[in-house]
């Protein structure tokens, strides 16, 4: 087989070093172009280098592994997701026949995932599988009535009726929940707007409110929510 080019993405430097050593040991035919710890830098490097294979950590600060994948212009590379959690995200990955390994990385599991990836690279089916995964994650919001929120810890699945309002700032979104907690997501407000069901209203360019949570309207130009938050309204 021809040399396979790979990029490793993980916010933990020790995890990157360990994975790189294992790949070099068991699969010397794989050429590691770069090991990247910053998700935003990973997007730039992957778009530039166009590798055959990407090892992608799911749980990273600001941008998750799914955010990185969705930001790639042409995701025509094979992906092996790396995660410390066996959760819904893994089920979605399995449904799309995409490889994954759990932390701490087992040598046999790593070998199996890479061997399968090598076979898939020959078949050139990566683009279709990656697109199917991203669509599956988006469609789940419609099928379950839950909002899928990528965060630094992975994916959160929050019933939409528990959302008070969504606040956009600097390309990110802060989701305010009825238990008085907040989630910061790398998804833009516009992206969440497409996921929300009926009953949510964009009252301002930076705010979307759950109308069921509105308690009062102030003539000064604010909506008051049940949790006493005041949300501005555009003129």
Tell me the three-class secondary structure of 119-178, residue by residue: HHHHHCCHHHHHHHHHHHHHHHHHHHCEEEEEECCEEEEEEHHHEEEEEEECCEEEEEEC
Residue of 116 and 130 predicted with greater confidence: 116
Structure tokens at 129: 């599988």
What is residue 152's predicted lDDT score, i.e. its pLDDT?
A: 61
CA distance 17 to 30: 15
What does the block give as tokens for 189? 């407000």
**Res 88: pLDDT:** 59
Question: Tokens for 92?
Answer: 């979605």
For residues 154 and 84, what is the distance between their CA atoms, to the nearest angstrom?
10
pLDDT at 142 over 60: no
Question: Which residues make Cβ contacts (< 8 Å) with residue 8, sequence separation at least 6?
Answer: 16, 19, 20, 23, 32, 34, 35, 36, 54, 55
Instruction: Assess contact for 8 and 101: CB atoms under 8 A.
Output: no
pLDDT, tens only, 10-42: 999 999 999 999 999 999 999 999 999 999 999
Percent of the chain with pLDDT over 70: 91
- Indicate the pairing of strand 163-169 with strand 154-159: unpaired
Count of residues for the chain? 235
CA distance 177 to 179: 5
End-to-end CA distance of the chain: 63
Tell me: the pLDDT tens digits for 152-190? 666 677 889 999 999 998 878 999 999 999 988 878 888
User: What's the alpha-carbon Rg for the chain, to the nearest Å?
Assistant: 20
State mean pLDDT over 135-155: 67
């Amino acid at each position: 087989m021809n040399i396979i080019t790979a990029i490793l993405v993980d916010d933990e430097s020790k995890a990157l070093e360990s994975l790189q050593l294992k790949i070099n040991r068991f699969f010397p035919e794989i050429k590691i172009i770069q090991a990247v710890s910053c998700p935003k830098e990973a997007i730039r490097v992957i778009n530039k280098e166009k590798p055959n294979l990407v090892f992608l950590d799911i749980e990273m600060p600001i941008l998750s592994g799914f955010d990185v994948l969705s930001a790639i212009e042409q995701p025509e590379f094979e992906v092996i997701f790396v995660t410390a959690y066996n959760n819904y995200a893994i089920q979605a990955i399995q449904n799309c026949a995409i490889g994954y390994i759990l932390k701490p990385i087992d040598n046999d599991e790593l070998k199996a995932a890479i061997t399968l990836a090598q076979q898939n690279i020959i078949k050139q089916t990566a683009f279709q599988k990656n697109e199917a995964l991203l669509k599956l994650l988006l469609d789940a919001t419609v099928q379950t009535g839950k909002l899928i929120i990528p965060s630094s810890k992975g994916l959160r699945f929050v019933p939409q009726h528990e959302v008070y309002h969504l606040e956009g700032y600097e390309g990110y979104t802060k989701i305010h929940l009825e238990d008085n907690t907040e989630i910061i997501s790398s998804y833009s407000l516009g992206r969440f707007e497409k996921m929300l069901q009926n009953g949510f209203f964009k009252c301002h360019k930076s705010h979307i409110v759950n109308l069921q949570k509105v308690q009062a309207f102030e003539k000064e130009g604010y909506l008051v929510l049940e949790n006493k938050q005041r949300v501005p309204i555009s003129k």
